[in-house]
Chain A
Amino acid sequence: MVDRSSPGPSRPPLSTASLILRLSAIAVVVVALAGAFAYVNGTFDPQRLTPKKLINVLETNNGVHPGFRRNHSKGVCVIGHFESSGEARNFSTAQVFNKAQTPVVGRFALPAGNPYAPDNAVPIRSLALRFTQANGQQWRTGMNSMPVFPVGTPEAFYQFQQAQSPDPATGKPDPKAVPAFFAAHPESAPFLAWVKTAKPSASYVTETYNSVNAFYLVNAAGQRQAVRWSMVPVAQDAPGAAVGEGKDFLEQDLVQRIAAGPLRWQLNITLANPGDPVNDASKAWPEGRKVLNAGTLVLEKTQPQLNGECRDINYDPLVLPAGIEGSDDPLLAARSAGYANSYLRRTSEVSQLPAAPQETRQ
């Protein structure tokens, strides 16, 4: 294509009809390929639930807070490590269960989309962790204090968010929409039963945090064991401990307690029995399942989320090391896809974040 060749044998000119036909055929090929692409990227499929729609509905409900996560927006970074007990070694090849210690960067948070919400606004707390193994592989997990998820599918989650959206006419959510949603979604019964008993806890430190979704541990022989895991606090307050004052009591409490000494959780891994629901996070597993004590999470210091190490981590629950695999729970893929969308939005807005307060820096 560098040089031009000499003119070849002359070709008979095309008739006008033939020319139009041939140009049309080219147009058909190009339009067909472009159309297939537009179908795949969702242009022709406005009903499809996309990551963008999931995050848009959170923004509709919570407002846009540039630079912050679109959900679980209020939180605090924690730094520590995990000490393996070796008990999970026979079930998983992951280094985190086989090495004595693995460094951890975590984040406690409030499951709401407003980074300025008061700490008693929701009864749920969350803990996200990133374990960085010596071989460079990572295990990221986002856990919640509820034992089950309100719904089992991303579509139902989206409808649940829509039920909480402000009505364009009044600017407020329809008070009948959420009860109507729960009435139409009987799978939310276990969650609702838990919510009735759940009180906004006085401390991040005394909560149990559950994976909610199921995963597989995979051992060296390739055997796969379905599991859910929980971080269970080693220290418990006396029952009825007073909830702190002010809207940010959770972070203040955490900073105070960690200054007094490291905080510990035990990693309990519950092994599913055959037949336990692995693909439905709205269903609890029956009591009496075998539980491994896989080791101890030790948290040693806090950092403000505005400039701490956790800020730029996307706690995507499908970032997993060899030896841990996602289950076919449809919420896992949706969390991964939705978090990626939220992560791109907030990392594009880092420069709009407010400055971190200096006094909370440990």
Chain B
Amino acid sequence: MSTVPKHFAPLARLLHWLMALMIIAMLFIGAGMVASVSERHEWLIHLHKPLGVAILLLVIVRLIVRFSTTQPPLPADLPGWQVLAAKASHVLLYALMLVLPLLGWAMISASGEPVMLSSSLQLPSIVTANAQLFAFLRKAHGYLAYLLFLTVLLHLAAALFHGWVRRDGVLDSMVRGKDRG
């Protein structure tokens, strides 16, 4: 009985690629809307809020999938510091995927604005209105979004390094379900 998979489970791969698209879109939407005074600002905000909640729901599903499926192991010859970097960056990615939508939700709550996902769909406030708390949460949301973008870039560079330089099957484990050939 072979218990060590070489690839991520199909659902894990689906969630990874779906969320990769959503998160990169989200980071660009966020960066674009705070740097615009045009109508773009308005329609980007209207995308940003429901997309953020969708990411929050999906990351919860993804954490459940992560803990209920077996992950392919890292190559045995991977240097220790790269193993550490891989593990730490994955913890950071999951933490930021979970925390950023919650910070966005909390900061709107703290501003005293109703948390509207559309013109009539409203979420409850998760903190009481408080100006100083708003300022803290709003800044944390912005800085941590930049940290997420940097972590995504690192993740992308490392994945391509595995695929193109080390050629050790790590990239393949997320790209496809079967071995080549």
Contact = CB atoms under 8 A, between A and B. Distances in A.
Contacts of A233: none
Contacts of B169: 8
Interface in A1-39: 1-8, 11, 14, 19, 22-23, 25-26, 29-30, 33-34, 36-37
A42 interface: yes
A50 interface: yes
Nearest to A140: B113
Contacts of B72: 1, 5
Contacts of A312: 111-112, 129-131, 134
B38 A348 contact: no
B68 interface: no
Interface string B151-165: 001001100110011
A37 B31 contact: yes
B75 A40 contact: no
The range of chain A's interface size is: 35 or more
Given A3-B73, A4-B74, A30-B157, A22 B37 contact: no
B164 A25 contact: yes
A3 B6 CA distance: 12
Interface residues of B, number: 56
B76 A7 contact: yes
Interface in A310-330: 311-314, 316, 318-320, 322, 325-326, 328, 330
Given A5-B72, A8-B168, A136-B122, A319 B37 contact: no
B132 A5 contact: no
Most interface-central of B36, B153, B167 (chain A CB within 10 A): B36
Contacts of A54: 37
Given A7-B77, A40-B31, A54-B37, A348 B42 contact: no
A344 B27 contact: no
A154 B168 contact: no
B111 A314 contact: yes
A33 B36 CA distance: 20
A194 B82 CA distance: 69
Interface in A294-337: 311-314, 316, 318-320, 322, 325-326, 328, 330, 332-334, 336-337
A312 B113 CA distance: 11
Given A37-B28, A154-B37, A337-B33, 4 more contacts: A30-B157, A135-B122, A138-B114, A313-B112
- Top-3 shortest CB links A-B: A41-B31, A42-B35, A347-B135
30 contacts: A1-B71, A2-B71, A2-B73, A4-B75, A5-B73, A8-B169, A26-B157, A26-B164, A30-B156, A34-B153, A40-B31, A40-B35, A41-B35, A42-B35, A51-B41, A135-B122, A137-B122, A312-B134, A316-B113, A319-B113, A322-B119, A325-B119, A333-B41, A336-B42, A337-B37, A344-B135, A347-B132, A348-B135, A350-B135, A351-B132
